[in-house]
Amino acid sequence: MSIAYEQQATVALQQLGLSVAEQQLDQAAQQAAAASWSYTHFLGYLLDAELRFRHQKTVRLNLQFANLPYQKRLQDFDFQQQPSIDQRLIDELATGRFLHEGRNTVFLGPPGVGKTHLAIALGVLTAEMGHRIYFTSAIELARRMARAMADNRLSREIKNLTRPKLLIIDEVGYLTLETAHASLLFQAICERYEKQQAIVLTSNKAFPDWSQVFAGDAIMASAALDRLLHRSTVINIRGDSYRLKEKRHAKGSAHAQEVTPTE
């Protein structure tokens, strides 16, 4: 009877689609016998292996579809170099609570201060929590929606934009959008707001200048800001470009190396 069940176990795991548990069954059973595991310990061990494998696969797919220009992590960010950021705000974001609250995050500041880095890092973290994310620049998003509108599939495209748990809209305000594009960006923001789905957005433009972002339409800009900021964390980053600082630092140390031999 017991032998029959043992044979059945492999087949059952296979039929249930638990392929990792199936692969590990023999080795886990031997380990369990050798270490006198309880039955529940053994079952937990097998299911845990299966779940971990599935989670890794989900994360891999999430990152594959994320459209990230590159991967960065919060751990790669040097907060000492950027004292204008309150690290407690970032730590709170890293818990992922903002995703479930549909709370937006806006990174504001001049070029090179780490806005995109932090936005991507929040995206990677979200993907690793098992959620879908999508990264796009504001102009790319507007163009994509314009193409969808031209093909009579705007409502489907808008629905697609609300699917990811997190939408990252980068570089809002770098390029002034034409009126049609501005109104599409506005629609994307409205739709996510209504579904209480979080947006992480970066911009080099302070809020009072946002009418420029929306093709000079102050009313649309304030309506967009209303929705964006209703539930939000705004992180204002000041200071010099990290890239330029690094360059100056590199030059400085090259210079130091040049003078060392003559000392």
Rounded Cα gap, residues 76 and 128, in angstroms: 16
72 counts as binding ligand ADP under rule CB under 6 A: yes
Residue type at 132?
R
115 counts as binding ligand ADP under rule CB under 6 A: yes
- How many of the chain's residues bind Mg ion (CB under 5 A)? 1
69 counts as binding ligand ADP under rule CB under 6 A: no
137 counts as binding ligand ADP under rule CB under 6 A: no
Rounded Cα gap, residues 201 and 115, in angstroms: 9
Out of 52, 100, 195, 243, the only residue in the binding site for ligand ADP (CB under 6 A) is: 243
Rounded Cα gap, residues 10 and 19, in angstroms: 9
- What does the block give as tokens for 173? 């305000």
Residue type at 247?
K
Out of 22, 28, 112, 192, the only residue in the binding site for ligand ADP (CB under 6 A) is: 112
All residues at 6 or more sequence positions from 164 whose CB lies less than 8 Å from its CB, including other chains: 131, 132, 133, 134, 197
Q: Report the run of H or E that residue 259 belongs to, with start and end.
A: helix 242-259
- What does the block give as tokens for 109? 């500041």
Q: How far is CA 46 from the centre of its chain?
A: 30
> Which of Mg ion, ligand ADP, none does residue 78 bind (CB under 5 to 8 Å by kind)?
ligand ADP
> Which of ligand ADP, Mg ion, none does residue 117 bind (CB under 5 to 8 Å by kind)?
ligand ADP
Question: In whole angstroms, how far apart are CA 260 and each of 53, 251, 255?
Answer: 53, 14, 9
111 counts as binding ligand ADP under rule CB under 6 A: yes
Closest Cα partner for 134 from 193, 197, 57? 197
Closest Cα partner for 201 from 242, 170, 233, 235? 170
139 counts as binding ligand ADP under rule CB under 6 A: no
Residue with Cβ nearer Mg ion (119 or 125): 119
116 counts as binding Mg ion under rule CB under 5 A: yes
136 counts as binding Mg ion under rule CB under 5 A: no
Give the contact letters, 195-234, x = binds to ligand ADP (CB under 6 A), - = no. Answer: -------x--------------------------------
> Three-state SS for 137?
strand
116 counts as binding ligand ADP under rule CB under 6 A: yes
82 counts as binding ligand ADP under rule CB under 6 A: yes
Residue with Cβ nearer ligand ADP (61 or 250): 250
242 counts as binding ligand ADP under rule CB under 6 A: yes
Closest Cα partner for 199 from 238, 225, 237? 225
> Which of Mg ion, ligand ADP, none does residue 164 bind (CB under 5 to 8 Å by kind)?
none
Per CB under 6 A, residues contacting ligand ADP are 72, 76-78, 81-82, 109, 111-117, 202, 242-243
